[in-house]
Amino acid sequence: MPLFRRLILPLLFLLTSHTHAEQALQLTAEIAAPHNLSIGAVPPPTPVVELLPDPSREVKDDLPPIPTIDLTTPPDDLWQRMRNGFSMPDLDSPLVADRQAWYLNRPDLLKRIFERSRRYLHHIVDELEKRGMPTELALLPIVESSFNPLAYSSARALGMWQFIPSTGKNYKLQQNWWFDQRRDIVASTSAALDYLQYIYEMHGDWHLALASYNWGEGAVGRAVAKNRAKGMPTDYLSLKMPGETRYYVPKLQAIKNIIAQPQLFGISLDPIPNRPYFGTVERSENMDVALAARLAEIPVEEFIALNPAYSRPVMPGTANSPLVLPAEKVQTFLANLQNHEAQDKPLTAWLTHKLKKGEKLEGVASRYGISAARLKQLNGINARTKVTPGFALLVPGKDAIGHEDIAARLPQTPAKPPRATKWKKGKGKAKGVAVKIRKPAVKPKKR
């Protein structure tokens, strides 16, 4: 019996193992085969995989928020707003470095220009953005006039944008005995941008447009045509042009570079608030310059700086130009004007005196308490003026406020442009000696 058991047990173990192996193979085949489940059939269980936590995905409340930049919010500094709108191609020329050095060697001049520009820059940048024009053009008055609205050149160009009389008339800038809109901040800016748009559309190139602004679009057009006929390039740097025009665009590029990266050049730019410096008030009646300044509660110098178009102490209502006042003084002016008119006070204290036969200017001046020289200045009288009986003279009334002081401060368009001076090297024995030649300069400005 023990021998039988020793023989049969291993045999049973082998049979059992074989049966389990067949069942395992069958089960594996069933799992691997696609399931054709009928309604109500229960699919095999899906294995559950438990992922370990990822420390990098954990949210911690103590972490600082990620800083963001809202590009739709305008910057507080007008200089930065201007930089954001720079879109004109840079000019690659050694003359740019030359002009940069020229400006950087005159830090006091730059400081005065930037300080003067604070009154006008916001308005110019605003107008450029409305038209979709490069904001570098807001720096053009630095090249033209150092942002001086009273600047007058030997070519009879006047104002911040330096319009000559003919181009000023073409762009509807009024010029008469009372005022000259080439000096008007709002009107001249609008005219300058109109002109720049026109010459850009003509040439399709901002460098050529700027050359046209200085030299004249006709002259630039002829220079381009001449190069094209010779199979030569027609870009700004390839054209033959006067020296002033050759340096014109490099000057603007130099100023742009300084404004773009003042720290690189060791320049400190005082921030300019990115808000309007001035507002405007429409009017239709004559008004004294001194009274307008008093009603706005600002110095006469500030009033004239914002309203430089007027040549006389009385601003005619027919000027079709609004008063320009510091933005924070507009409501002050309106309230004081309402109070002034409620008291039935006049808006002007100046009178018109018609010259009688036998009257002399000295006698008229003495009668109204003003010097003969000031009377001539107020009325634009010079050596070429024919003063005959019936000539209408503007004279101060008894209530005129500080008429001598006002008359001295008002801008006047010179009857004759100042003569420019050219410097040439002498051809004598002493080499390099500069000889001053008194000779009118050739000014290429055709505006």
Angle subtended by helix axes 289-296 and 330-342, to nearest 10: 110
Structural contact between residues 274 and 138, judged by C-beta atoms closer than 8 angstroms: no
In the block, tokens 């003919």 appear at 166
Token pair of 108 as six digits = 């006091």
Give the tokens for residue 217. Answer: 């679009």
Question: What's the gap between Cα 444 and its chain centre?
Answer: 24
Pairing of strands 422-425, 392-396: unpaired
Short-list 326, 338, 316, CA closest to 293: 326
The structure tokens listed for 244 are: 């002033």
Q: Identify whether the C-beta of residue 382 lies closer than 8 Å to the C-beta of residue 121.
A: no
The catalytic residue among 30, 58, 136, 144 is: 144
Cβ–Cβ < 8 Å for 291, 347: yes
CA distance 25 to 283: 104
Give the contacts of 174 (CB within 8 A, at least 6 positions apart): 180, 181, 319, 320
3-state secondary structure of 227: helix
Here the contacts of 175-181 (C-beta below 8 Å, separation 24 or greater) are 177/311, 177/312, 177/380, 178/310, 178/311, 178/312, 178/314, 178/315, 178/316, 178/319, 179/309, 179/310, 179/311, 179/312, 179/315, 179/316, 179/319, 179/321, 180/309, 180/311, 180/413, 181/309, 181/321
Is residue 341 annotated as a catalytic residue, yes or no?
no
For 288, residues 6+ apart whose C-beta sits below 8 A from its C-beta are 313, 314, 315, 347, 348, 349, 350, 400, 401
Q: Catalytic positions, please?
A: 144
